[in-house]
Amino acid sequence: MNMMKLMNCFASSLLLATLSANAVSQSDEYTGDNWLLAKYDANGDAQITLEEIASKKLNIFQHMDLDSDGGVSFSEYETLDLAKRKALLKSRFIKLDSDRNGKVSQSEYSSYMGLFASIDSNGDGALTEEEINNGSKAEAYVSHCVLWFCFRTKMDDD
């Protein structure tokens, strides 16, 4: 499989995961630090078994073996790693490019605060040591995993 085909496949998978995370993620019920459950708990029983991990690893291996020869060469491994890194960089860039014009302006870059608002629990625009150390705000995010790629999305407040 050539690099362009791989990148298209990976990009399609990532796009599908982003657009319909509930449909392709293993679970959208896991919040906070339970990303391991989202990644490995295939049957949704809130437990991870050795069989679930082995099944997940086999699935990942099959996607890594681009030429289906039963082994993963360094070249195949490197190709997938580069595709994964590019997808992560693209995701970060999209967060920064708030007006979606394909460029991050100085204003967009300097105004992006990431998780600041979710950590600033009292909304006063300042982070105290208590707010920084408080893990309860992690509950506001849902983990989604597709193959070996996991990401978190902010939960709706409804």
Q: Are 153 and 117 in contact (CB under 8 A)?
A: no
Residue ranges per structural domain of the chain: 3-154
Query: Helices marked H in the chain — which ranges?
Result: 3-19, 21-24, 35-40, 50-64, 74-96, 106-111, 116-119, 129-133
pLDDT of residue 152: 65
pLDDT of residue 25: 39
Each residue's pLDDT expressed in tens, for the chain with a length of 158 residues: 454 455 545 544 444 444 333 333 344 454 555 778 888 888 989 899 999 999 999 998 999 999 999 999 999 999 999 999 999 999 999 999 999 999 999 999 988 888 787 788 888 988 888 888 875 444 456 666 665 566 666 655 44
42-to-20, 21, 30 alpha-carbon distances in Å = 18, 15, 12
pLDDT of residue 99: 95
Instruction: Name the nearest CA neighbour of 33 among 125, 142, 128, 123.
Output: 142
pLDDT of residue 94: 93
Q: How far apart are CA 118 and CA 152, in angstroms?
A: 13
Q: How far apart are CA 15 and CA 37, in angstroms?
A: 22
What amino acid is encoded at 77 in this protein? Y
What amino acid is encoded at 65 in this protein? D
Instruction: Name the nearest CA neighbour of 142 among 30, 46, 39.
Output: 30
What is the DSSP code (8-state) at residue 139?
G
pLDDT of residue 131: 85
CA neighbours closer than 13 Å in the CB half-sphere of residue 60: 18
pTM of the model: 0.51
Q: How far apart are CA 7 and CA 87, in angstroms?
A: 9
